[in-house]
Amino acid sequence: MAARRSNQGSHDAHFLLFPDSDMVCICAVQVFCQPPAIFPARSPALILLCQQKCRHFHCLAALFTFFLLAAILLPARPAGAVVWSTLFTAQDVREHLSTEQGRQEALEFCRKMGITKVYIESFRDGYQAEEATLKAARDYFRQAGLTVSGCVTTTGLGKPSSGWQVAACYTHRQNQERLESVFRFTAALFDEIMIDDFFFTDCACSECAAAKGALSWQQYREKLMLQISRERVLGPAHAVNPNAKVIIKFPQWYEQFQERGYVADQEAALFDRIWVGTELRDPASDEWGHKQQYEAYFIYRWLADVGGSKTGGGWFDPFGTTPTLYLDQPLTTILAGAPEVFLFHYGALASSEYHAQAEALAARRVQYEKLSTFVSGWSGIAAYKPVSSDPGEEAYILDEIGMLGIPEAPTAHFPEGARAVILTTQALRDTELVPKLLRLLAAGGTAFISQPLAHRLNGDPRLPAPAPLDLEKNQYLKTVEVGGGKLVVFSDALPHLTHVDGQNRVAQPTLELRESLEELRRKVSDFTVTSLDAPPRVAIYPLGGRVAVVNSTEFPVACRLTGLAGMAHKLNRLYALDGATLASDGATLWLPPHSALVVE
Ligand SMILES: [Zn+2]
């Protein structure tokens, strides 16, 4: 990060996200808050390690082992607390679980991390782990009181996809047969099997082109992956082991599902359970695509809307993170409501390269478990992304809108009967969009419409707008009354205020942009809680009668909440992470970078 701090010459154009001087912090605050405030120094987190429990455990006689494990694992977990799990990849199995000493070290790692469930993988990158080692590891962890499941990663099956080489060509018969044999082998060993998120294809080889016929690539790939799921994964696994539950893990790149054969609703119906990739990266990273922290929340809630009670948990890894950025992942995954948090993977987290990330999480684990007890009743303005929808030029814009402090309730279904909805280009997947929108407007509803979608709706005779929906040059917000309701068209420039550039900077909004953002938030506050003075990249999560606020900027923030209609004017602090506090006025939230506060 140090290399990114040097660009001091552009204060007037940008906020540095890693400011070297207080001046930048004050400057940042002055833009959004009146009057400027003095912030407490970031205080180190109070850490309560649970390792003492584990040490006691090792000292007790075997007679008491069962009772102690029961005490730790079963009734002691408070309501809402999470299960922590990890994966031993097929390569981890070979390198770390083939000896008694290796298994002991792995178990010690699990104890330290609070991990009570492990996934032992049988296949990855063309390598199938040895049956004897898989069985020995499975039985060892079970005897130690952990829950044990299997995992398969469908990479290296044989003929690769002509597109992304890690994926396979699923038209190719030998690949299909190899896949089936891997699932037969795994289902004989485990009652639950996770599939890592490489179970897709973007292959356009001559075999696929011939098999596709007159279908579009999207149609063919979706049909192919559903067929392979039934005939080469679920069918064989259930034939070998009728108790086997198979979980499909969806990747965090949800805006590309429709290109690669992931069909979330039909796969959620087909598989026994689903899992959610909640991986976050350095938002400044060109390599990782400038990911917004809100993405993990958006995809989790969106897939929970699709998968319902089949939604088992979130999954993230340490790649592309610092320890600080790594911790954004458990924070967001837990805020999104994941009952199980899956830490990919043992071999990486125990390595010198990512050891610091694992240590950082272990130090805060108890705090995250406490946070999970406040998490339920997610709400916000319905943000509509139909399954298999194409984002057009608006990929991941819904993550950016969330990072503006506009709470979203992600959904794959048009929110009939809602008072408000957020609509972007993705909604055009729904061929009944306009009639549905008209019904919402006729009931007096408000639709927040992105600029590109407004452009696409412009001139539609079914939508009798009295004025063009397109924004004029340098116009950032516009309200058009249509059919008894309101269309609020917002410029691209507003969500893009949350974008972190390759030099780790966010653009400094002009006066006009700041005023437009405030006006947009005022309109939002008719429907949900938001903040008029928080800078972009402070996300707000309404949770029943509670509200969580997370500062994902790199400077301290003071802000107030609005839109708490009918709720108490004076807030109560329920939970604070990393030095966040509520001021004595009961209204001003003080949030150091990457901190979180839950108030009611
Ligand atoms: Zn192919």
**pLDDT tens, residue by residue, 160-214:** 999 999 999 999 999 999 999 999 999 999 999 999 999 999 999 999 999 999 9
Q: Which residues contact 470 (CB under 8 A, 6 or more apart)?
A: 451, 454, 455, 458
Q: In what order do the strands lie in the sheet with 477-482?
A: 408-411, 381-384, 420-423, 446-450, 485-490, 477-482
Mean pLDDT along residues 445-468:
95
- In this prediction, residue 505 carries a pLDDT of 92
Has residue 516 got a pLDDT over 90? Answer: yes
- pLDDT tens readout for residues 280-331: 999 999 999 899 999 999 999 999 999 999 999 999 999 999 999 999 999 9
Assess contact for 489 and 449: CB atoms under 8 A. Answer: yes
- pLDDT tens readout for residues 412-425: 999 999 999 999 99
Task: Say how many Å lie between the CA of residue 254 and the centre of ligand 1.
Answer: 22
Residue 34's Cβ-count burial label (10 Å; 0-12, 13-18, 19+) is exposed
- Residues with CB in 5 Å of ion ligand 1: 169, 171, 203, 205, 207-208
- In this prediction, residue 469 carries a pLDDT of 96
Confidence band of 50 (pLDDT split at 50, 70, 90): very low
Alpha-carbon distance of 39 to 238, in angstroms, equals 58
Has residue 467 got a pLDDT over 60? Answer: yes
Q: Which of 259, 239, 238, 264 is nearest to 249 (CA)?
A: 264
- In this prediction, residue 568 carries a pLDDT of 54
Task: Say how many Å lie between the CA of residue 531 and the centre of ligand 1.
Answer: 50
Output the pTM of the full model.
Answer: 0.88
Across the chain, mean pLDDT equals 88
- In this prediction, residue 567 carries a pLDDT of 56
Assess contact for 252 and 317: CB atoms under 8 A. Answer: no
Task: Say how many Å lie between the CA of residue 130 and the centre of ligand 1.
Answer: 29
Task: Say how many Å lie between the CA of residue 492 and the centre of ligand 1.
Answer: 37
Assess contact for 481 and 447: CB atoms under 8 A. Answer: no
Range scoring the smallest mean pLDDT among 1-15, 156-170, 287-301, 351-365: 1-15
Most confident of 9-18, 151-160, 457-466: 151-160
- Which residues make beta-bridge pairs with 548? 541, 598
Has residue 490 got a pLDDT over 90? Answer: yes
Has residue 58 got a pLDDT over 70? Answer: no
Task: Say how many Å lie between the CA of residue 251 and the centre of ligand 1.
Answer: 21
Task: Say how many Å lie between the CA of residue 418 and the centre of ligand 1.
Answer: 43
- In this prediction, residue 80 carries a pLDDT of 53
Task: Say how many Å lie between the CA of residue 197 and the centre of ligand 1.
Answer: 18
- In this prediction, residue 165 carries a pLDDT of 92
Task: Say how many Å lie between the CA of residue 230 and the centre of ligand 1.
Answer: 19
- In this prediction, residue 531 carries a pLDDT of 97
- In this prediction, residue 451 carries a pLDDT of 98
Has residue 503 got a pLDDT over 50? Answer: yes
Q: What is the DSSP string of 380-406?
A: -EEEE--TT---TT-TTHHHHHHTTT-
Confidence band of 26 (pLDDT split at 50, 70, 90): very low
Task: Say how many Å lie between the CA of residue 210 and the centre of ligand 1.
Answer: 9
Task: Say how many Å lie between the CA of residue 288 and the centre of ligand 1.
Answer: 27
- pLDDT tens readout for residues 67-112: 444 444 443 444 558 999 999 999 999 999 999 999 999 999 999 9
**In 257-310, at which residue ranges do the beta strands (DSSP E only) sit?**
273-277
Task: Say how many Å lie between the CA of residue 229 and the centre of ligand 1.
Answer: 16
Has residue 18 got a pLDDT over 50? Answer: no
